[in-house]
Amino acid sequence: MIPSAIPVVEAARDCAHVSKITLGVITPIRAGTPHLKFTPMSGGLKMQVRGTHAIQIFWLYTTRPEDVVQEITSKWPA
């Protein structure tokens, strides 16, 4: 897991609405500013975390995606 993703994965783990978290691929990229992106999918959310030198994708299984996005973004440090 990339270092920038640790706070949001911990927030997802502690969220009562997330039933499962699946780790995705890590893609190295050039330096840039960290950000967080959510895409609604069937059965949950695709969460993309961009760190300073890599992007990692996570799959969050939930029935309440809006609540999950709100809770995780509130704990995003960037």
Q: How far apart are CA 66 and CA 4, in angstroms?
A: 22
Residue-wise pLDDT tens digits, 26-48: 999 999 899 999 999 999 999 99
Which pTM was predicted?
0.90
Residue-wise pLDDT tens digits, 64-75: 999 999 999 998
